Amino acid sequence: MRATPELLIPLLMIAVIGTLAWEFQVSLPLMANKVFGGGAAVYGVMASVMGVGAVVGGLISAARPRPRTRALCLAAIGWGIAILAAAAAPSLPVELAALVFVGYGSITFNSLAKTTLQLVAKPTMRGRVMALWALAWLGSTPVGGPIVGWVGQDVGARWALVIGSLSALLCGILALPALARIDRRSAPGETPAAPPDSRSVLSPSWLAASLSGALPDRPAELDRDRAPAMLVAIHLLRR
């Protein structure tokens, strides 16, 4: 893992942020009750508004092209700012407006984290890397829950959100230079693969050569990246 900082750094970010920031099931009830004087109804509205932002963030994230690794840092910084705004909200309407961006930032950071890890990992290691993601993101929540709950009870409900925002901000700021260097190193070597020219493999001359025996006798010599599976099957039937 040390030899692949493009995997190690995002996993460390996910673990820290998942421990301290992804604890809204603890911090939001405290905010609803102790700060805004509400109950279950207020907490339900806050969670619903955050869910709306998450849906919007998911749709926008799905429409993005392949992201750079440093985009994960920018998402963490933006999410940290949104959580900090929710922690400092003076009234419930302002809190609800901030929670829209909190939900947007949560799903954006989560989707970028999974996308980054899957694109960087080798295909043979992708399942193991995603298992580490699950451990870092979901497995850290039971660890951070008691910490955030203790801070919210003894220090103040707003501080339960503040420590989450600070963890996201610090992780994003500290990891940005390293991930930016990784992006600069990988950029010159990126050569997008040209799509296969289906006209050449579907041309009448290719079909005629396949059926007449002019192509190689050994199926392994076929350009399987360019020839559709159907044409390979025709070649094999000819033999």
Given a contact cutoff of 8 angstroms between Cβ atoms, the answer to whether 18 and 141 are in contact is: yes
Taking all residues of the chain, what is their mean pLDDT, rounded to a whole number? 82
What average pLDDT score do residues 116-127 get?
89
Q: Which residue has the higher pLDDT, 234 or 31?
A: 31
For position 205, what pLDDT does the model report?
52
Is the predicted pLDDT of residue 162 greater than 80, yes or no?
yes
CA dist., res. 149 & res. 25, Å (int): 10
For position 77, what pLDDT does the model report?
96
CA dist., res. 195 & res. 138, Å (int): 38
Is the predicted pLDDT of residue 180 greater than 80, yes or no?
yes
Is the predicted pLDDT of residue 224 greater than 90, yes or no?
no
Which range among 69-73, 142-146, 178-182, 230-234 shows the weakest confidence by mean pLDDT? 230-234
> Using one digit for the tens of pLDDT, what is the confidence trace for 36-78?
999 999 999 999 999 999 999 999 988 888 778 889 999 999 9
Q: What is the Cβ-side half-sphere exposure of residue 229, based on CA atoms within 13 angstroms?
A: 0
Is the predicted pLDDT of residue 105 greater than 90, yes or no?
yes
Q: Which residue has the higher pLDDT, 183 or 216?
A: 183
DSSP letters of 88-115?
A: T-SSHHHHHHHHHHHHHHHHHHHHHHHH
The residue to which tokens 């009448």 are assigned: 204
Which range among 71-80, 85-94, 102-111, 188-197 shows the weakest confidence by mean pLDDT? 188-197
Given a contact cutoff of 8 angstroms between Cβ atoms, the answer to whether 225 and 196 are in contact is: yes
Q: Which residue has the higher pLDDT, 42 or 191?
A: 42
For position 200, what pLDDT does the model report?
42
Using CA atoms, how far residue 168 sits from 71, 121, 214, in Å, is: 13, 23, 62
Q: Which residue has the higher pLDDT, 185 or 197?
A: 185
For position 184, what pLDDT does the model report?
83
Q: Which residue has the higher pLDDT, 228 or 68?
A: 68
Given a contact cutoff of 8 angstroms between Cβ atoms, the answer to whether 168 and 79 are in contact is: yes
For position 10, what pLDDT does the model report?
93
Residues 6+ apart with CB under 8 A from 88: 158
Residues 6+ apart with CB under 8 A from 64: none
> Using one digit for the tens of pLDDT, what is the confidence trace for 87-99?
999 999 999 999 9
CA dist., res. 60 & res. 39, Å (int): 32
Domain with CATH 1.20.1250.20 in the chain: 5-186
Using CA atoms, how far residue 131 sits from 11, 48, 102, 128, in Å, is: 11, 29, 26, 5
The structure tokens listed for 143 are 């660890």
For position 199, what pLDDT does the model report?
43
For position 183, what pLDDT does the model report?
81
The residue to which tokens 């694109």 are assigned: 119
**pTM here?**
0.75
Orientation angle between helical segments 92-120 and 5-20, nearest 10 degrees: 150
Domain made up of 5-186: CATH architecture? Up-down Bundle (1.20)
Nearest in space to 82 (alpha carbons), one of 98, 58, 95, 97: 98
The structure tokens listed for 87 are 């922690």
